[in-house]
Amino acid sequence: MQKAERIPTIALKTHLLARLESLGLSPLALTLLAILAIAPLLIKDEYILHLMVVSLFFGAQAMAFDFTVGFINVVNFGFAAFVGLGGYTSALLAVKLGCSPWIGLIAGAVAAGMLGFLTGILTLRLRGIFAAVMAWFVGLALMALTAAMVDLTRGMLGLHVPLFLDTTARRPYFYILLPMAIGTYVALRTVTNSHIGLAFRAIGQNLGAARASGVDPTRYKVINWTLSCAFAGLLGVFYAHFIGILTPDVMHTKHTVEVLALSYIGGRGSLWGGLLAAFLVIPIFEYLKPLMEIRLIIYGLLLILTMIFYPGGLAGLFQRIGELIGRQREKPEPAQ
C-alpha cells in the first residue's frame, strides 16, 4: 500500500524536475537562485545591497541582450536607448499623469517593444551589421531627441521620477527586481526552447540552410528583436523608479557597450552567462574603482581578449569543466 503511494510522488517529482529543467532551471541553477534570493535578508550593509541590485539589473539586461546576439546573431547596438525609452515612458506617465509605476512597467515595455518592432521590420531584412548600425543610429537619435525636448523631459537637467516605494532602502527593490529578472529568464528560455527558438538558432548559425528549410528569417528576427526590446523597456522602468532621476545619458552607447561586454564575457547564447558575469564583474569593478580609467581599460581589454581567445565566455568555460567532470566519471567504467 505504502509502495503504491510512493510511486506517483516520485513520478510527480521527476515530472516537476523535468518541467523546471525545460524552463532552464536545473537543480544547480535553482540552488544558486535560492542563495541569491535569501542573501539580501542576511546582508545588512546598504552598499552591498545596492551593488546586488545593480548587478542583478545589469545581469537581466545582459540576458535580454543575449537573446538577440546569442540566437539570431544580430547586435542591438541601440540597446541602452530602448532601456531608456522604457524608463522615460513610465517616468513621464507618472510625472505628468500620475500613473502608478506598476502600470508604467507595462507601458514602458510596450513602448520599447513597439519602437523595437518598427526598427526591426525596417532593418532586419538587411545584413546583420546594418541592423546593428541602424539600431545605433536610432539610439543616438532618441538620445538627442530626449535631450532636445526640454519642455517634456527637462533634457539634461534630469527628470525627477517618483520611486516605486516610499523607502530608499535597497532590500525591497531587490525583491522587486528579482521576480522581474527570473521572469525575464524564464520567458526568454521558454521561447528559445520552443520551435521558435529552434528557428532563431537556425537563422543565427546558417541562414541559407534555415531559409531552405522554410524558415522566414525576417519574421523570426523581428519577433526576437521586438521581445528583446520589450524586456529592455521593462528593465528600464525599474531603473527609472529605482534611481529616481533620469537624464538622456541612460541612452548613451557606452551603456550598451557595458551590457554587451557582460553578455560576451558571460558567453553568447547561454542567457544565464550574462547574469553570472554581472555578479562577478560588477562587484570586482566596484572594488577597483580607485583605479579610475585603468579599470575601464581593463574592461575593454577583457572584451577584446574574450573575443579573440575565448569566444565561449564563462558559459563555455563551465561547459568545458562539466565535460571534464563527465569524462572523469566515465573513466572507471571501462576498467570494471
Partner 1 sequence: MELSSLWDLVIIGILRGGMYALMAMGLALVFGVMNICQFAHGEFYMIGAYMAVFALKVFGLNPFLAILLAMVGGFVVGVLIERGIFYPLRRRSQEEWVMNTFLLTVGLSFVLQNLALLIGKARYRGVPTYWKGTIRISPTMGVSVDRVIGFLIAIVTIGIFGLFLRRTQMGRAIRAVSQDERGAMLVGIDLDKIHTLTFGLSTMLTGIAGASLLPITQAYPAMGAGPLVASWFVVILVGLGNVGGSIIGGFVVGMLQTFSYYFLGAGWQDTVSLSILILILLFKPSGIFGTEVKGILER
What residue ranges bind partner 1 (CB under 8 A)? 73, 75, 122-123, 125-130, 132-134, 136-138, 140-141, 144-145, 147-149, 207-208, 217, 254, 257, 260-261, 264, 292-294, 296-297, 299-301, 303-304, 307-309, 311
Q: What sign does the CA torsion over 244, 247, 251, 254 have?
A: negative
Q: Which residue has the cell 522587486?
A: 176
C-alpha cell at 55: 548587478
| Identity of the residue, 74 or 182, whose beta carbon is nearer to partner 1 in the bound complex | 74
HSE (CB half, 13 Å, CA atoms) of 323?
A: 6
Distance CA 106, CA 100 (A): 11
| Identity of the residue, 165 or 291, whose beta carbon is nearer to partner 1 in the bound complex | 291
Is-contact 57 177, C-beta < 8 A? yes
Q: Please give the single-letter amino acid code of residue 157.
A: L
| Identity of the residue, 165 or 307, whose beta carbon is nearer to partner 1 in the bound complex | 307
Other beta carbons less than 10 A from residue 331's beta carbon = 9
Nearest approach in angstroms of CB 71 to partner 1 is: 13
| Identity of the residue, 103 or 207, whose beta carbon is nearer to partner 1 in the bound complex | 207
| Identity of the residue, 102 or 130, whose beta carbon is nearer to partner 1 in the bound complex | 130
Q: Pick the closest to residue 76 from 313, 251, 299 (CA basis).
A: 251
Nearest approach in angstroms of CB 257 to partner 1 is: 6
Nearest approach in angstroms of CB 301 to partner 1 is: 6
Nearest approach in angstroms of CB 100 to partner 1 is: 30
Per the rule left: phi > 0, alpha: psi between -120 and 50, beta: everything else, 158 is left
Nearest approach in angstroms of CB 125 to partner 1 is: 7
Q: Which residue has the cell 536545473?
A: 26
Nearest approach in angstroms of CB 101 to partner 1 is: 27
* β 159-160/245-246 pair status: antiparallel
| Identity of the residue, 148 or 317, whose beta carbon is nearer to partner 1 in the bound complex | 148
